[in-house]
Structure 1
Amino acid sequence: MRRAFVVIGLLALLAPLTAAASFASDRLWTGSHAAEARAQALLTAIRAAGDHGLKPEWYRIADLEKALEPGADRDRAEQLLSDAFVTYASDISTGRVRANSIDRDIDIQQRRIDRAGLLKEAADAGDFPTWLASLPPKGDYPALQKTLATLRQKRATAATFTSLPYGDALKPGMIDPRVPMLRQRLAELEMTVPAPSAVAELYDDALAVVVKDYQAAKGLTVDGVIGAKTTRSLNTSLDDRIDQVVANLERRRWLPADLGNRYVLVNAADYSMVFVDGGQPVFRSLVIVGTPKNPTPEIASTMYGFQTNPYWTVPQSISGEEYLPILRRDPHALAAGGFRIFESWSDDDSEIDPDTVDWNAVDPKAFPYRIRQDPGVGNALGYIFFPFSNRYGIYMHDTATRALFAEGSRNFSHGCIRLQNPLEFVEKVFGGRGGFDKERVRAAIDGGQQVSYTFPEPVRLYVTYRTVTANADGEVTFRDDIYGRDRRVVQAMGQPRS
């Protein structure tokens, strides 16, 4: 009996080894016509990695080609091709880099690729080239690929580049030596430029119209004035634009392949927001986002509802950097704006008299007090506040400074997202459900009531930074890289993979 158990035990131990030997005999890339065709399809895709903003050498294309030569070691070929395949498939579907490693203001949980599962899918694919081509994201991704190809073709023709010097603001009606260079630069950007007037250096109204068209296309303030922002945008080279497209192909790969049927997408680079319900855009809005010093992060979260007439608790960094100098000049200066100061961050009974504090002795980097603004017309959050979980302490909200929505470059906040028409957005989210009554909410706002409302179902939120996008017709829009993130993304992509 004991001998029988020994035999059974040995068979159990040998079973995995037998299965492994069987799997090894079924080679994925060599040894049969189907496997070799699969290998050639992979090499073809890797050679065209540039279409995705990637580089063939990242996948050791030269080593792969040598490994498939007649007489080469099959085991080594299998290992090299499997490694290259998993790396390439992961890169084109979920991103070349871990987004969170690039910038502290990026907090995106990318999908993880299962190596064994991916190899099995490749083996089971009836049409491997078609299956491989299906891995990249959909949406505007193909349009960005076409734009990348077009820009590279333009660069290959050695197109001229006229750099516009910085200087004082150039306004219509002025005579300035930069005007001929401005005309040349706009022509290089394929804008239709009118002939100059009798005075070549006159910035005339006809040229100002072209500048305004350019500013509108790039999301700049449309005033015809050539200031620092417009000059910087005009001086963006073809190489810079190519890098932007490469960064935005990567950025799209970070997000889920399918964003879902119901979500909010905020694009900080475009100062825009869209609410998608049932797979269709049902609400769009302008937004105000963070300054370059206090950028709006890239995150994914969920919104569950909103509140009317919120308090605004000032973050410690703002209290120390911006409000402490005011308190040092006049301890009561903040009171006019509805601000109150508390000793505790949790006890509302701990309000203090600002005259009792020696503000000159307070460390701005370790501000110990809680400053809170009461609800009201001047409240920084406006009348509606949308909280959502994130490690940055930002949220979406109304605003008391609505005039800023008329600006082109709307990067004025400390990182939060200011929404232009929050009540209209709420109405779309409820969609007639949950007993929602827009006028009742408006009455609560007007009456100064703090009321919390829960959405009929949670709304997924994606806060992105897409400096290059395409609409449903494939028309591509560029926005200037106000946070300087595109360059960091491209640099990170070129680093060796672990």
Structure 2
Amino acid sequence: MDESASREYKLRVKRVHFLVGLLALIAPVLGSDPSLAADHLWTGSRAAEARAAALLGAIRAAGDHGLDPDWYRLADLEKAVSPGGDQDRAEQLLTDAFVAYASDVSTGRVRANSVDKDIDIQQRKADRSELLKQAADATDFPAWLASLPPKGDYPLLQKTLATLRLKRKTATFTAVPSGDALKPGMIDSRVPLLRKRLAELDMAVPVAGPVSDLYDEPLAAVIKTYQATKGLTVDGVIGAKTTQSLNTGLDERIDQVVANLERRRWLPEDLGSRYVFVNAGDYSMVFVNGGRPVFHSLVIVGTAKNPTPEIASVMHGFQINPYWTVPQSISGEEYLPMLRRDPNALAASGFRIFSSWSDNDSEIDPSTVDWNAINPKAFPFRIRQDPGANNALGYIFFPFANKYGIYMHDTATRWLFTEGSRNFSHGCIRLQNPLDFVEKVYGSRGFDKDKVRAAIDDGQQVGYGFPEPVRLYVTYRTVTANAEGSVSFRDDVYGRDRRVVQAMGRPRS
């Protein structure tokens, strides 16, 4: 053999060795039979066909997760796997459908941050190659596929979705007309319709008295129960918010469940053992430590015009007796009209006005400014409120990184916690008992609540660091389930659930 032929022979041997080694590396990805080609995950063997059957079963039941089987081309899949179908086409269709379904059911159908400008979370993202490898490696593929959705209250939401869809087949709907506030003791033609609507909502409605149009106390008690379940002000008065809630139909409630299933898929499967979970949808906050809830609180969140965003962040500590620097948008929209009427209108509440956003020596006399000439959309001054009883942040302030400039804080208007629908802020989160929360965060690690209260009373401006950072999740769950299995609905004040459902139905990019 000449030298040239020898080199060619050695090269061929190296190629063979390379291919053998490559096959050994990828054999685990191909399943138990190394002779299967890499693109035969669903056809060509009994095991592959069993995987395909399990996948088709899961896609047929995608509606249980608020997903649509048609999004995964179910009709094309069933045709492709029928006898005499093209195996290569079946492999491609099944692979694409599998990756799409597995991703949707585990991490969400849509990219959350594209749905709404007020959503900025670190959503998980499924990896195509990793999903395919796990599918091939799974010794029990149906069980592995069933393990992909979140845990927690997710199965209860699924059960609620199924119940509502079943009820929709026979449900009736009676609209309650809008009008002036209907109060107990009043006679109104809406009362018989109100009784019918409450019965449709599975409320225990008392029998009407001799005057069928009388809004009596027994019926008002049922309304109060209804208001409590929906996070409305519990006063028995049929106002605009209660009327709107009563007129929310089953289709809208079903969409809410679908949106909340999707929203749960956006979050990490494991939120951690120590975190704060704020739900702007039901005005609540919980602090979880060591994997169990140790502190609950009511919160006040943003209005429909200034909604509280959905974010994930970290809190490192808190400050007492903070200044409040008014955002430019609030200065222009809310405070400029007051200054135009009276240049000194803000002074009584401890506000000062500065010409610079960084120089605290640039305070100006508001009476020297022609406020009528100021553009509200380009407010040039910095308005800052001094610490004290009237400060909008109250006495305690919890900063955390986010692009919206919101934070959690105490409040000077604590009476608002008695309201049912607590949408009053400009997006920030007002906490009912902030020092009690801090005490739970510190646990047994040296927090002296009385000492901090004394520092507050002395007017000290002090920052305190937590013993360890606390993870923060701010979400918008309008349908929740508790440990006892009870499901609660809140009204979609922000209209965000509707936008989530609309985005889910759009073709995948």
What TM bracket, shorter-length normalisation?
Answer: over 0.9
| Deviation of the 1:214 alpha carbon | 0.4
For the pair 1:119 / 2:141, whether they are aligned, the reply is: no
**Counterpart residue number, 1:463:** 474
Q: Deviations over 1:113-161 (max 9, x none)?
A: 111111000100110001100000001000000000000000112x111
Q: Deviations over 1:159-187 (max 9, x none)?
A: 11100000000000000000000011001
| Deviation of the 1:352 alpha carbon | 1.2
Which residue of the other structure, out of 491, 503, 508, is the alignment partner of 1:497?
A: 508
Which residue of the other structure, out of 148, 153, 157, is the alignment partner of 1:140?
A: 153
For the pair 1:479 / 2:490, whether they are aligned, the reply is: yes
Task: Spell out the pairing of 1:49-448 with structure 2 (5 A cutoff).
Answer: 49-157=62-170, 159-433=171-445, 435-448=446-459
- Structure 2: where are the runs of 5+ without partners? 31-35
Residues 87/182 of structure 1: CA separation in 2 closer, same or farther (3 Å cut): same
| Deviation of the 1:87 alpha carbon | 0.4
| Deviation of the 1:359 alpha carbon | 1.1
Aligned residue identity for 2:407 = Y
Q: Deviations over 1:52-95 (max 9, x none)?
A: 00010000011111111222221221111111001000000000
Could you tell me how far apart the structure 2 residues matched to 1:256 and 1:290 are?
25
SS in 2 for 1:349: coil
| Deviation of the 1:360 alpha carbon | 1.1
Residues 68/427 of structure 1: CA separation in 2 closer, same or farther (3 Å cut): same
Residues 65/357 of structure 1: CA separation in 2 closer, same or farther (3 Å cut): same
TM-score, normalisation: structure 1: 0.97
| Deviation of the 1:28 alpha carbon | 0.9
State which drifts further: 5-14 or 405-414. Answer: 5-14
Could you tell me how far apart the structure 1 residues matched to 2:480 and 2:218 are?
29
| Deviation of the 1:366 alpha carbon | 0.8
| Deviation of the 1:5 alpha carbon | 7.4
Could you tell me how far apart the structure 2 residues matched to 1:142 and 1:416 are?
31
SS in 2 for 1:54: coil
Could you tell me how far apart the structure 1 residues matched to 2:454 and 2:103 are?
52
Could you tell me how far apart the structure 2 residues matched to 1:254 and 1:35 are?
30
Task: Spell out the pairing of 1:25-36 with structure 2 (5 A cutoff).
Answer: 25-26=37-38, 27-36=40-49
Q: Deviations over 1:320-367 (max 9, x none)?
A: 000011111111111111001111111111111112221111110011
Residues 10/391 of structure 1: CA separation in 2 closer, same or farther (3 Å cut): farther
**Counterpart residue number, 1:48:** 61
State which drifts further: 315-324 or 356-365. Answer: 356-365
Could you tell me how far apart the structure 2 residues matched to 1:94 and 1:273 are?
24
Could you tell me how far apart the structure 2 residues matched to 1:349 and 1:6 are?
83
State which drifts further: 8-17 or 205-214. Answer: 8-17
State which drifts further: 74-83 or 218-227. Answer: 74-83
Could you tell me how far apart the structure 1 residues matched to 2:166 and 2:146 are?
23
Could you tell me how far apart the structure 1 residues matched to 2:20 and 2:160 are?
50
Could you tell me how far apart the structure 1 residues matched to 2:421 and 2:19 are?
62
Q: Deviations over 1:89-114 (max 9, x none)?
A: 00000000011111101111211111
Aligned residue identity for 1:378 = N
Aligned residue identity for 2:49 = E
Q: Deviations over 1:399-453 (max 9, x none)?
A: 00000000000000000000000000000000021x3211111111111101101
| Deviation of the 1:282 alpha carbon | 0.1
| Deviation of the 1:11 alpha carbon | 7.0
**Counterpart residue number, 1:454:** 465
- Structure 1: where are the runs of 5+ without partners? none
Could you tell me how far apart the structure 2 residues matched to 1:6 and 1:417 are?
73
Residues 293/12 of structure 1: CA separation in 2 closer, same or farther (3 Å cut): farther
Could you tell me how far apart the structure 2 residues matched to 1:73 and 1:182 are?
59
Could you tell me how far apart the structure 2 residues matched to 1:52 and 1:224 are?
36
Aligned residue identity for 1:94 = T
Could you tell me how far apart the structure 2 residues matched to 1:169 and 1:484 are?
24
Aligned residue identity for 2:93 = L
| Deviation of the 1:194 alpha carbon | 0.7
Could you tell me how far apart the structure 1 residues matched to 2:147 and 2:257 are?
20
Residues 13/98 of structure 1: CA separation in 2 closer, same or farther (3 Å cut): farther
Aligned residue identity for 1:496 = P
Aligned residue identity for 1:39 = A
State which drifts further: 75-84 or 205-214. Answer: 75-84
SS in 2 for 1:230: helix
| Length, aligned pairs only | 496
Could you tell me how far apart the structure 2 residues matched to 1:457 and 1:39 are?
48
Could you tell me how far apart the structure 1 residues matched to 2:86 and 2:448 are?
72
Residues 371/72 of structure 1: CA separation in 2 closer, same or farther (3 Å cut): same
Aligned residue identity for 1:126 = T
**Counterpart residue number, 2:33:** none
Aligned residue identity for 1:70 = P
